[in-house]
Amino acid sequence: MLDSLWEPLGYAFMQRALVAALLASVACAVVGTFVILRGMAFMGEAIGHSSLAGMAVAYFLGGNVFWGALAWAVPASLGITFISRRAKLRLDTAIGIIFAGGFALGIILMSQVNNYTADLFGLLFGNVLAASWGEAALTGGMALGVLAAVAAFYKELLFTAYDADMAAASGIPVRLVQYFLPVLVAVTTVVALKTVGIVLVLALLVTPPATATLLARRLPGIMAASVAVAVVSVVAGLYLSFYADLPTGPSIVMVATGFFLLALLFSPSKGVWRRLQRSPPTETAAAGSGADR
């Protein structure tokens, strides 16, 4: 039993995958908490998909797809924020345009490459088992940078996310923070691309924090629970992938999704199971939050 736990760690590719995936998922878990609270999930999805364009350009020019994605994602996140603020477009409209446009451009560029399907598959769904030490270090370093940024500006991120008007009235540079958070989301998305790929980035960004909101009450607790869910999902997902010979990214996502469903059913405060036990329905309604007058 213990042997089967240690055996995969003997392989260098598993070590690299574990480092890259763990750090990426922790960054996702922390930034993702703000993403779900501010309803920015669609933005994360769009940044991930549209950065296919940047990756394709880098791939085409023989450069590192990671830098290509970053060079695309950061301006895209700023662009989405800017368009929605200035052009009085709804945020989801601005996101939709950048999402589809970037993705289409990426597919067209990739279609000009010879082994189109195989390479595209790697970008879309991740291939963390193929990560080099250089890639693992780059991903890990960026993830640590994201975590440091959240720690440094936690107060400002929290206040602005909760009540932007009041934060502005208190002299917090709200506009700056409102551009900074999407940039953090963009960098985090890019960090996670190697692990889960463009299509599934959203899962790492949203599923662990969503699970955490069912398990903890206050923001710091939610972040901690989110990190715990992400770490366990990555480790379990990698082992599942190793032993069952399944694709890594989707395995990690499936484990995380499993945790979400368990939390949804058995959360001590908000679980479906607890609610069913609290019949009759009139009492269930009274136990709902905010109606205690």
Contact residues for another protein, defined by CB under 8 A: 37-39, 84, 90-91, 152-153, 155-156, 158-159, 161-173, 213, 216-219, 222, 289-293
- Beta carbon of residue 35, minimum distance to another protein (angstroms, whole number): 13
- One DSSP character per residue, the chain reads -HHHHHGGGGSHHHHHHHHHHHHHHHHHHHHHHHHHHTT-HHHHHHHHHHHHHHHHHHHHTTS-HHHHHHHHHHHHHHHHHHHHHHS---HHHHHHHHHHHHHHHHHHHHHTSTTHHHHHHHHHH--GGG--HHHHHHHHHHHHHHHHHHHHTHHHHHHHHH-HHHHHHTT--HHHHHHHHHHHHHHHHHHHHHHHHHHHHHHHHHHHHHHHHHH-SSHHHHHHHHHHHHHHHHHHHHHHHHHHT--HHHHHHHHHHHHHHHHHHH-TTT-HHHHHHT-SHHHHHHHSTT---
- Beta carbon of residue 201, minimum distance to another protein (angstroms, whole number): 23
Closer of 3 and 165 to another protein (Cβ):
165
- Beta carbon of residue 161, minimum distance to another protein (angstroms, whole number): 7
- Beta carbon of residue 147, minimum distance to another protein (angstroms, whole number): 15
Closer of 130 and 152 to another protein (Cβ):
152
- Beta carbon of residue 45, minimum distance to another protein (angstroms, whole number): 18
Structure tokens at 163: 């009540």
Closer of 130 and 217 to another protein (Cβ):
217
- Beta carbon of residue 262, minimum distance to another protein (angstroms, whole number): 20
- Beta carbon of residue 176, minimum distance to another protein (angstroms, whole number): 10
Closer of 245 and 292 to another protein (Cβ):
292
Closer of 7 and 155 to another protein (Cβ):
155
Rounded distance, CA 19 to CA 6, Å? 15
199 in Cβ contact with 249 (< 8 Å): no
Closer of 147 and 193 to another protein (Cβ):
147
Closer of 131 and 149 to another protein (Cβ):
149
